[in-house]
């Protein structure tokens, strides 16, 4: 019975580790050289990043000096903030990117959008099955002996192609630990 309780605890901890690390990357808009300001070239900044569903944007700016409006493509093109989809004004605003598609943001302070404070972010679908070339190859874990019955091989885990770099390998490790726990305590 104690072995069963330990197994359940191990499985719960491993599952929590996988779920806690399998999220997207967080990008501070304009970083590292800028922020949400009149000096940053947002087209250049965004073109250097592959945004994926599950990522998030963080807008940092002096509250009162700027704001962030999420707008339609037409309002983005015309720099109109008259009917925003969402409005942010804290100076430290986090915007989730849960799905693929293009999102449009402008500063609603008169003249700021026209001066370049506008950001279009193309979000790609999350790719959970594509390998991340920057992540190390996972190593298969040795299988623990079982008391009786045929043995099944534990397949090596695959890592996610997350833009956060180590998130995929951590999630792969968590999944491997979860699988090992099931085999060890079954």
Question: Model confidence over 123-138: pLDDT tens digits?
Answer: 999 876 544 444 443 4
The whole-number pLDDT of residue 127 equals 77
CA distance 74 to 97: 20
Span 26-124: which CATH code? 2.60.40.420
| Domain definitions of the chain by residue range | 2-22+150-185, 26-124
The whole-number pLDDT of residue 126 equals 87
Q: What is the pTM of this model?
A: 0.59
Tens digits of residue pLDDT in 137-164: 344 344 344 444 443 333 333 333 333 3
- Reported residue count of the chain is 186
Asked if 177 and 9 touch (Cβ cutoff 8 Å), the reply is no
The whole-number pLDDT of residue 128 equals 62
The whole-number pLDDT of residue 3 equals 52
Strand partners, 96: 56
The whole-number pLDDT of residue 69 equals 98
Burial 61-73 (b: 16+ CB within 10 A, else e): beeeebbbbbbee
The whole-number pLDDT of residue 103 equals 98
Q: In Å, how far are 25, 43, 130, 165 from 157, measured between CA atoms?
A: 21, 37, 12, 16
Q: In Å, how far are 1, 4, 5, 155 from 183, measured between CA atoms?
A: 17, 12, 15, 12
The dihedrals phi and psi of 27, each to the nearest 5 degrees, come to -120, 120
Which stretches of the chain score pLDDT less than 50? 5-22, 130-186
């Amino acid at each position: 019975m104690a072995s069963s309780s330990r197994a359940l605890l191990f499985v719960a901890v491993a599952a929590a580790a996988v779920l806690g690390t399998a999220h997207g990357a967080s990008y501070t808009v304009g970083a590292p050289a800028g922020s949400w300001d009149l000096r940053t070239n947002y087209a250049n900044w965004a073109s250097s990043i592959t945004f994926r569903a599950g990522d998030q944007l963080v807008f940092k700016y002096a509250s009162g000096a700027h704001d962030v409006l999420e707008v339609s493509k037409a309002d983005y093109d015309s720099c109109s903030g008259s009917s925003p989809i969402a409005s942010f004004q804290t100076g430290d605003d986090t915007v989730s990117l849960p799905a693929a598609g293009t999102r449009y943001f402008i500063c609603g302070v008169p003249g700021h959008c026209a001066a370049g404070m506008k950001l279009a972010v193309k979000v790609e679908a999350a790719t959970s099955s594509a390998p991340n070339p920057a992540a190390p190859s996972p190593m298969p874990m040795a299988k623990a002996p079982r008391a009786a019955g045929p043995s099944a091989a534990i397949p090596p885990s695959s890592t996610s192609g997350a833009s956060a770099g180590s998130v995929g390998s951590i999630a792969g490790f968590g999944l491997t630990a979860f699988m090992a726990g099931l085999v060890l305590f079954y």
